[in-house]
């Protein structure tokens, strides 16, 4: 019986969402399991030119890994900033007035926030932050907020 690719891809996304992974994190997981460059992997049924579609066994391996079938625990994207850390960064930037809403692109954040990321950890994208980078950014933003509060109180 042939493997239902559409159902497998949907199941991977559903299982990933339950675990808090976005599409990019799922590509990272697939890349780590298949040893294919993450920029060349596609989670589409029919790949675009230059992209590589995962084979049926690879799709099954990614899904099994997300369900924790191999080790009993779900796979983790190593050293990536958590969803909570990214949320906190956005909330602090909102409090400083650098952004108008927390619904911003994690790939190309607003200019002021991107400049702060560049200055703190030499990265311009929120999705590229490691746990350590995110903590550095959070601490820096917290200091700026405290400074702005003390300046306004004087």
pLDDT tens sequence across 101-133: 777 766 667 888 889 999 999 888 887 888 899
Pairing status of strand 52-53 against strand 41-42: parallel
Query: Does residue 93 sit in the same domain as residue 51?
Result: no
Q: What is the pTM of this model?
A: 0.50
Phi, psi of 52 (to 5 degrees): -115, 125
Nearest-CA neighbor of 124 among 112, 132, 135, 136?
112
Whether residue 91 is found in the same domain as residue 53: no
Q: What's the domain range around 43? A: 5-67
**Lowest mean pLDDT across 15-19, 31-35, 88-92, 133-137:** 31-35
CA distances from 142 to 14, 25, 26 (A): 34, 27, 31
Shared-domain flag, residues 143 and 92: yes
The token pair at 71 is 């080790």
77 inside domain: no
Q: Mind listing the pLDDT tens digit for each residue in 131-150?
A: 899 999 999 999 999 998 88
Q: Give the phi and the psi of residue 106 in degrees, each rounded to 5.
A: -80, -15
Other CB atoms within 10 Å distance of the CB of residue 29:
23
Q: Is residue 44 part of a domain?
A: yes
How many domains does the chain divide into? 2
Whether 17 contacts 11, CB under 8 Å: no
**Measuring CA to CA, which residue among 104, 102, 99, 145 is closest to residue 125?**
104
- Whether 74 maps to a domain, the answer reads no
């Amino acid at each position: 019986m042939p493997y239902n690719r559409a159902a497998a891809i949907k199941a991977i996304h559903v299982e990933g969402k339950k675990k808090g992974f976005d599409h990019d994190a799922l590509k990272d997981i697939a890349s780590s399991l298949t040893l294919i460059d993450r920029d060349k992997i596609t989670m589409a049924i029919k790949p675009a030119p230059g992209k590589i579609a995962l084979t049926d066994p690879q799709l099954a391996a990614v899904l099994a890994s997300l369900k924790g079938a191999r080790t009993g625990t779900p796979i983790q994207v190593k050293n990536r900033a958590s969803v909570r850390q990214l949320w906190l960064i956005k909330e602090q930037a909102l409090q400083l007035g650098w952004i108008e809403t927390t619904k911003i692109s994690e790939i190309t954040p607003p200019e002021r926030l991107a400049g702060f990321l560049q200055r703190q950890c030499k990265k311009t994208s929120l999705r590229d932050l490691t746990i350590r980078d995110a903590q550095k950014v959070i601490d820096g933003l917290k200091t700026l907020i405290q400074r702005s509060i003390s300046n306004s109180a004087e």
